[in-house]
Amino acid sequence: MFDSMSDISGGITLFGATGGTGRQILQQACEAGHEVTAVVRDPARLDWTHPRLTVLRADVMDPTAIAPAIRGSAAVVSALGSRAGRVPTTVCADSATSIITAMRAEGVRRLVVLSAGVVTTDGDGPFSRFLLKPILGKVLEHTAADKRRMEEIVRASGLEWTIVRPARLTDQPASGTYRTAIDRNVRGGLRTSRADLADYVLRSLTDPAAPTGAAISIAS
């Protein structure tokens, strides 16, 4: 699990805290000693409390509404995703646009967003490239398109950004032995535990050697 390597002065603003991965990021960050402001649409869905946690109710699509949560933060993390399934969605792209607008207004530059390994086949072996990804590409067509557009928006933001692309997410405990790859998928990496993903997100904020301006794939 994540060990605090340095204080994130100003704390973290987290979007998507009520989702499975967002909860892992929230809990690991608070337990490591970091201040976290969780921006949620429905505070009743966040049934976890901590002395270092502040919850703000706001619409992520409104830059003015989320600006107070971002003001003074050291970093912003978006773990947002669509629950729409097989219908068109722009949740990730639209929320990224709103968050980036608010960050620029508040002068906050560090951004980490969660994407997905399905957006690319770079680095994949034959099984994933020719069998698994074509199937997933059909099932997750709209989700993948939304995340690709989000990545384009983040890359063009001018901020200090990191895109994190997990493989298929699981609720398994943290392994502490996950693998990462820069700007390509992890070869043979078929799954990622949410606990490991949260660990990497926090390390990307606290480790001076962590790459920025790159898409990082993570898998067991």
Domain assignment of residue 33, yes or no: yes
Question: Given a cut of 50, is residue 1 above it in pLDDT?
Answer: no
Query: Taking Cα atoms as reference points, which of 49, 73, 58, 51 lies closest to residue 16?
Result: 58
pLDDT of residue 128: 63
Domain assignment of residue 3, yes or no: no
Name beta bridge partners: 216: 164, 182
Q: Structural domain of residue 142, as residue ranges?
A: 12-219
- Check: CB of residue 21 under 8 Å from CB of residue 28: no
Question: Given a cut of 50, is residue 184 above it in pLDDT?
Answer: yes
Count of positions (residues) in the chain: 220
Domain count, the chain: 1
* Rounded Cα distance, 102 and 60, in Å: 10
Domain assignment of residue 187, yes or no: yes
pLDDT in tens, 100-136: 999 999 999 999 999 996 767 566 656 565 556 665 6
pLDDT in tens, 39-98: 999 999 999 999 999 999 999 999 999 999 999 999 999 999 987 667 889 999 999 999
In the chain, % of residues over pLDDT 90 = 74
Query: Taking Cα atoms as reference points, which of 98, 69, 75 lies closest to residue 29?
Result: 75
> CATH no. for residue 116?
3.40.50.720
Take residue 99 and report the two structure tokens written for it: 């968050």
Name beta bridge partners: 81: none
- Please compute the mean of the pLDDT values over residues 11-22 and round it to a whole number: 97
Report pTM.
0.90
